[in-house]
Structures are given as structure tokens and as C-alpha cells.
Amino acid sequence: MTEKFLKDKDFIKIQRLNSPNNAEKRKSLTQTDIDIDKLTSQLANHSNKNTTSISQNDDDNNNAEFDGKLLVNHAQFVKSRYKVRYRNDRIISYFDDVDFEYRPSILDGSINEPFRMSFEGPTLEKEIKIKEKAKRSQLRREMFPNIASKEDLDNNNNTQSTDSQIGTTSSNEQSEDLTEVETAIANNGYIHEHLVSNFSGLYVALWMAIGLGVLRCVVDNYIDEDGSVMNGEIMTFLRTDLFKVGFVDLCMYLCMYFPFFIHWLAKKNILRWNSIGWKIVSVFEFCFFIGFIYLPEHVLNFHWIAKIFLFLHSLVLLMKMHSFAFYNGYLWSIKEELDYSTNALAKIEKEPPTVEHAKDSEVKEIFEKSVEFCTFELNSQTHDETQKFPKNINVWNFFEFTMFPTIVYQIEYPRTDRIRWSYVLEKICAIFGTIFIMVLNAQIFMYPIAERALLVRGSEWTGLIVRLSHWARILIDIIPSFIVMYLLVFYLIWDAILNCIAELSRFGDRYFYGDWWNCVSWDEFSRIWNIPVHKFLLRHVYHSSISAFNFNKAQATLFTFFLSSVIHELSMYVIFKRMRLYIFFFQMLQLPLVAIGNTPQMKERTIIGNAIFWAGICMGPSVLCSLYLTI
């Protein structure tokens, strides 16, 4: 019985998954059926060749020698299997790299909600008075105990009582504050440096200044230009071919259901994902990507705003398709391994024990561990029995995923109990208000500079120095408006739109971005600037490149940055119709900057690191835009 399994290709695949050489590969979702270890493949081919091409006696001898070699390797695999699927007796899942929890967005959790729910006006003066009173009370007790007032002595008793009886509280709120401050002063000295103010009023002033600035720009534009912003070139672009753009976008969305259809066929046993399904989906994803770049540009002749919108949305839909397809594709592999191992164990139990009992025990132990891991991997994806794989392959589950503000698929996500319609209204107002400010900024401040840049590009070439001087002047003029546009785009997409979609879909994890404005190195920025895309790149590019191509961490990082740079360069091609590789170069330049930022000298100088980071944020987009427009 064991010799039969030792030659079986499915058993060899299970051996490979427990191989110590594969420990570094088991990091993410890969197509396991096309990644068989060379050694075991050669051994399997050698076994098949022996059984079909030579005489029976020679075949038995060769197979015995072959099984002995395979048994030695097999024993090594069993000895080291915990390095692959277990760590400290804990199962290592493929899905440990990405997690979803109940989390608010940073702006909501740090500013918006505290401002709406707990704003009390000025509180610093009250804190100062309490601390000053505590200081005077302490001085009287220490220097003039004979003339200390009864209140001072009572406060002293309260302090001692607090030190001796932990957990007791005073009925008077001010007395509690005094006791706490006095204790801190006694331990640490005077603590005026710990005073913290509330800046909620400045938050109101910021939006007031933005509103008044927008009002002035609207009035000036209406009077000086003899018209309104709504009739400008930017709004004309936005209104042109609006229904055509919407129809193309709908077609892109409907194309998303093709990978779902392939998995539905696999669920009905019409085709196997591991043999043909993943190939069909891979070809479809490539055609989807190329087709929706070619169609808006060369067939429909859309303007640049429509083209970049469709390009970016096609990327989002493509990543969603890929994540859904290969998440469930991995689970198909796990399910097939579980079925095979379960059936093998049943056959082994029915067979009488052989002379080679040690070999039987080792083979049985491999199958038992395989069943343990596969059962955990399948059952840990959801607690809902009606959605456990492959029951999750249904129209409603996939439709919900297409509506969620995430591009990494899993069977279930944290969900909120209800929709806060007042919050939805707030975000809708934020979306349209931000779009209006962006249109105003683009029309009044950026569009005239872009026209100047196009005139420079179309002018006669008079030398590099002259062209660079024109470029420098355009760069200086466009930097302020580009900084404003950069921040508005961030707020529009990652806070207003994604939070609105999350609230409507009751999606619980609102961690769409981190505090990237505090970054001191570019590797931090690449991780927390765009959390949804970072999660996708981490699972389906970084870890999958380690699994599929056997990259080390440095090579996987380089590959991830390279792919990201290529996509960014394609976005510039969609806008400017020019392939200049400027943004590709700047993206790849982040790698040496990351290395410099991680040196001990720079890690200790966080303020300098943050200043360098903000210089790049303020200058980088403007430099790139002016380069693509003029040179």
C-alpha cells in the first residue's frame, strides 16, 4: 500500500508542500499544481518509466531501489514539515499576511467624531488653574506645614489615601484632578510641559478659510472672465461623452463576473481550476487590461479625464477579479489535497499492516498532518456554515465583494450593524464639495499653466538651456496649485468616497490610509499611503513572487516596485500620450532613497527625514507634470 502512494503524483505534491526547501515558498497564493519540486518530479517520472519500459524483474529491482531513495527523502520531509505549515506548534495559514478589523478612518477617529461628540470649548485654562492650585498646595505643605490651610491638609490626606488605597475615588471632580496632579508633581516635579491643548477650533477655521477662498475665486472668475467655472474647459471635459463613459464603465463591471463564472463551473464539476480554470482567467485578465486601455483611446476617442478615470477603475476591477479568482483557486487546491489525503487514510486503515511498519507509519503521519492543515485552512475562513468554501461561490457573495471598498477578497469581513444616513449625507457633500474645489483649482490655477507648457513644447527647439529655463518657470508656477490638488485627491478618494461606500455597504474596516504625513522614509509612505492597494501588492505580488519565482525578499521588493512603476508610467501614457519613463524613473528612485532612510544616521533624525519626505511630496508631482508637458 505505501509503495503505491510513494509513486503517486498527488502524494508527491503533498511531500513537496512539506519539504524544507519549500518553506520559503509557502508565503501566499500560488498555483500549486504547476510548481512541483524538480527532485520529486524526476523521481516520479523515473518510477513511471521503470514500470512501463523494462522487464518485470528489472522493474521490481529498480522500483525497490527507487523506493529506498524516495523513503530517505520522504523521512527528511516529515522531519522538517513543521517549518512549512507549523510554527511553535501553531498552524501557519496562507492568509496571515492580510487582516481586516473594526477600525475607523484616521480623520474620523482623530478629528471628526471627537469634534462632534466631545467638543467642550477651551479647556487649557482650566487645566492650568488646577495645576497651579496643586503646586501652591504642595509648597504650603512642604515649606509651611504650620500655616497650611485645612484644604491643603485635606488634599494631602487625600493624596496619601490615594497612594495607600488604590482604586478609591473622590466625589468631587476637582478634588480628583488635584490629587492626580499632586501625585504626578511629587513623582516627576512640575509638569507644565505636559499640558495639551485641543485644536478643534483651528479645524473649523481651516474649513472656513477654504470656503471663503473658494467664494473669492468663484466671484473673481465670474467678474473677470465674464462667465462661471461651470462653463470652463475642465467642466466641458467632464460633461463630454458622460453617458458613453458610464456605459463603458458598466461593461467593465459586468466583465468582472467572468472569473466568478469559471469558479461556478468548477463548483459544478464542469471543469477543474487547477488544470484549465486558472489559465482561462489569466488570459482573460490580460485581455481585459489591454482592451480597456485600447478601447477609450483608439476606438471611442475619449478626452483625457475620461481615459484616466476608466484606466484607474479598470485597475481596481482587475485587482478585485484577480484576488477573488486566486483566493478561491488556492482553496480548490487545498480541498483536493484534503479529499486525497482523507481517502488515502481510509485505504490505509483498511489494509492489514505490512512488514515495513515504519514506512507505513511515516506515510500515515504525512496524510494525517495534511488533513489537519487542510481542514484548518478551509474552516478558518468563515464561521458561517452557509458560506464555507465552496459555498461562498455564489452570486450574492461575489456581488457584495464587488461593492466593498477593498480589492483583497476573503469570504467574510467585519460589518457594522446599520447605515448611518447622516454620515452618508456628510460624505456625499464632502465628495461633491471637494470635486468642485478641484475643478476650481484646475480651471483657474492649473489649466493656464498647462496651456503655456503646451506652447513651449510646440515651439521651435532653440536649445536645452532655453527649454530648461521655460520648464523651471512653469514648475515654480504650478507647484502651489499641484500641492492643493494632491491633497484634495487624497481626501476625495481615500476619505470621502471610500468611507461613503463603506458606510453604504456596512464595511467595518475603514483603515484606508495611515498617518502618511508623518513618514520619515519612503518605504513607510509606500505601505500606509494607500492601504487597500498595499494589501493587494503584499499578498498577490510580493508574497506570490516569492512563491512562484522563488525570489528572496530583496528581489520580491524590487519586483513589486517595478510592477508599480510600470503601472504608474502607463497612467501617464493614458493622460499625455507620451512614453517618457519619467515617473518610472522617479518610482524606482525610491529604492535607494529607502536604503538611505534606513541608515542609522537618518533613523535618528526623524525631523530631517520628514522634511525630506515633504519636499518630495511637494515637488515630485509638479516636476513630473511639467516634464511630461514640456520635454
What DSSP state is assigned to residue 392? T
Q: Which of 438, 70, 371, 399 is nearest to 237 (CA)?
A: 438
Check 46, 303, 313, 568 and give the catalytic one.
568
Spatial distance between the Cα atoms of 597 and 611, rounded to a whole number of angstroms: 12
What DSSP state is assigned to residue 81? T
133-139 contacts, C-beta under 8 A, 24 or more apart:
133/178, 134/178, 134/181, 134/182, 134/185, 135/185, 135/190, 137/178, 137/182, 138/182, 138/185, 138/186
DSSP H helical segments within 491-581, as ranges? Answer: 498-504, 522-528, 531-537, 544-549, 553-576
The C-alpha cell that represents 254 in the structure block: 459586468
Burial of 369 (0-12, 13-18, 19+ CB in 10 A): buried
The C-alpha cell that represents 234 in the structure block: 475642465
Task: Give residues with Cβ within 8 angstroms of 439, minimum separation 6.
Answer: 229, 232, 234, 235, 238
> Residue with C-alpha cell 492650568?
128
User: Is residue 611 within 8 Å of 601, Cβ to Cβ?
Assistant: no
> Residue with C-alpha cell 462653463?
231
Task: Give residues with Cβ within 8 angstroms of 159, minimum separation 6.
Answer: 179, 182, 183, 186
**What's the distance, CA 366 to chain centroid?**
36
In the beta sheet, which residues pair with residue 91? 86
534 is catalytic: no
User: Is residue 488 within 8 Å of 463, Cβ to Cβ?
Assistant: no
Spatial distance between the Cα atoms of 265 and 262, rounded to a whole number of angstroms: 5
Spatial distance between the Cα atoms of 576 and 579, rounded to a whole number of angstroms: 8
Q: Cα dihedral sign for 493, 495, 498, 501?
A: negative
**What's the distance, CA 569 to chain centroid?**
20
What residues are annotated to the active site?
A: 568
